[in-house]
Amino acid sequence: MDDASSLASWAALLADRTRAAFCLALMDGRAWTVGELARHAGVAMSTASEHADRLVTGGLLTEHRQGRHRYLALATPEVATLIEAVTAATDQTPSPVRTLAAAHRKRNLAYARTCYDHLAGTVGVALADGMLSTGLLTRENGLSLTPTGRTRLTGLGITLDAPGRRPLLRDCLDWTERRPHLAGITGAALLRHALTESWLIRIGTGRALRLTDQGHIAFTTHFGAPLDRHSHAISSRV
C-alpha cells in the first residue's frame, strides 16, 4: 500500500462519529471496555463491537481480554498525539453549550485534562511555559531538559523511564489552548507524579482533572507555572 492509500485508510477510521468518540474517550489514558465505550457513544453493543474491531485492525487501538471483558486502549502515544493535533486543527467553531452541566464539563476540560498519559489544558501549557521561563527547559537545540531541570525533577522524586523509541520530551499541540504542552517520557512522568501526590485529581470518569490547592502551590513554586492564585478553584461538577 502506498503512502497516499495508507493515509486515506487511517483518516477513514476517524471519519465516523462513533469511532471518533471512542478515540477521544480513550485519550484519558485508561483502558475502557466495549460496553463502557458503547454507553459513552450512545450506541448498541453490537455496533460498538464492530467499530472496535475496525479500530483495532487499523492499528489505532489495542485490545486485551480479561475474563468476559474486552478492554481497549489507544495503541501508542503517537496515536494520541495525532488525535490531539487533528482535534486542535479542526475544532475551529465550538459547539454551543446549552446546559449548565455541559458548561462545567467544557470549562473543566479546557482548564486541566489528560492527553493520553500527559497533562493538557491551561495548566499543562502553563507548566510548559513556567519550566521554560525558569530555565528548567530550553529550546536552544530543540526542546530538552536542562541540568537544572533534571535536578529539580530528581529532587521531587520524579523519575524518568529509560529512553527507548519514545522521545524524552517533545511538544504536543494543545487542543484548547492552541499552544504546546509537554509530552514524551518527561510529560508522562510529570502527570504521573502530580496524580500520585494529589496535585491533580480526576473529575468523574472522563479526561478532566482538578488542580488542588496543594497542586497550585507545587506547580507555581517548583515549576514557575503562571497560574492565577484563584484560577484553580474550578468547579468539580461534571
The DSSP secondary-structure symbol of 43 reads -
pLDDT digits (tens, 9 = 90+) for 108-166: 889 999 988 999 999 999 999 999 999 999 999 899 999 999 999 999 999 997 767 78
Please indicate, yes or no, if residue 234 is contained in any of the structural domains: no
Do 100 and 58 share a structural domain?
no
Residue bearing the bigger pLDDT, 173 or 89: 173
What does the alpha-carbon distance between residue 149 and residue 138 come to, in Å, rounded to a whole number? 9
DSSP bridge pairs for 3: none
Write out the H or E segment, with its range, that includes residue 71: strand 69-74
Do 142 and 111 share a structural domain?
yes
Do 187 and 126 share a structural domain?
yes
For the ranges 73-82, 87-96, 176-185, 193-202, which has the lowest average pLDDT? 87-96
Closest CA to 70 of 54, 44, 52: 52
If one counts the domains in the chain, the total is 2
Do 109 and 200 share a structural domain?
yes
What does the alpha-carbon distance between residue 151 and residue 174 come to, in Å, rounded to a whole number? 27
Please indicate, yes or no, if residue 103 is contained in any of the structural domains: yes
Please indicate, yes or no, if residue 232 is contained in any of the structural domains: no
CB-based contacts of 92-97 (< 8 A; 24+ apart in sequence): none
Domain stops at, among 46, 75, 104: 75
Please indicate, yes or no, if residue 174 is contained in any of the structural domains: yes
- Is the confidence at residue 238, as pLDDT, over 50? no
- Is the confidence at residue 94, as pLDDT, over 80? no
Q: Quick check: 160 and 185 in contact, CB under 8 A?
A: yes
What does the alpha-carbon distance between residue 138 and residue 10 come to, in Å, rounded to a whole number? 34
Do 172 and 109 share a structural domain?
yes
- Is the confidence at residue 82, as pLDDT, over 80? yes
Instruction: Quote the pTM value.
Output: 0.76
- Full domain range(s) for residue 139: 96-223
- Is the confidence at residue 78, as pLDDT, over 90? no
Please indicate, yes or no, if residue 142 is contained in any of the structural domains: yes
Do 115 and 189 share a structural domain?
yes
Neighbouring CB atoms inside 10 A of 125's CB total 21
Please indicate, yes or no, if residue 122 is contained in any of the structural domains: yes
**Phi, psi torsion values for 147, nearest 5 degrees:** -55, -40
Do 212 and 104 share a structural domain?
yes
Please indicate, yes or no, if residue 236 is contained in any of the structural domains: no
Do 203 and 125 share a structural domain?
yes
Q: Quick check: 150 and 142 in contact, CB under 8 A?
A: no
CA-CA-CA-CA dihedral for 30, 114, 203, 103, to nearest 10: -130
Do 148 and 212 share a structural domain?
yes
pLDDT digits (tens, 9 = 90+) for 22-68: 999 898 888 899 999 999 999 999 999 999 999 999 999 999 988 88
Please indicate, yes or no, if residue 15 is contained in any of the structural domains: yes
What does the alpha-carbon distance between residue 123 and residue 101 come to, in Å, rounded to a whole number? 21
Do 204 and 139 share a structural domain?
yes
Bridging pattern class, strands 113-115 and 118-120: antiparallel
Evaluate the CA torsion angle 170, 175, 180, 181 in order and state its sign: negative
Do 150 and 61 share a structural domain?
no
What does the alpha-carbon distance between residue 199 and residue 210 come to, in Å, rounded to a whole number? 8
Do 40 and 117 share a structural domain?
no
Q: Quick check: 34 and 45 in contact, CB under 8 A?
A: yes
DSSP string, 124-137: HHHHHHHHHHTTSE
Q: CATH number of the domain that 40 lies in?
A: 1.10.10.10
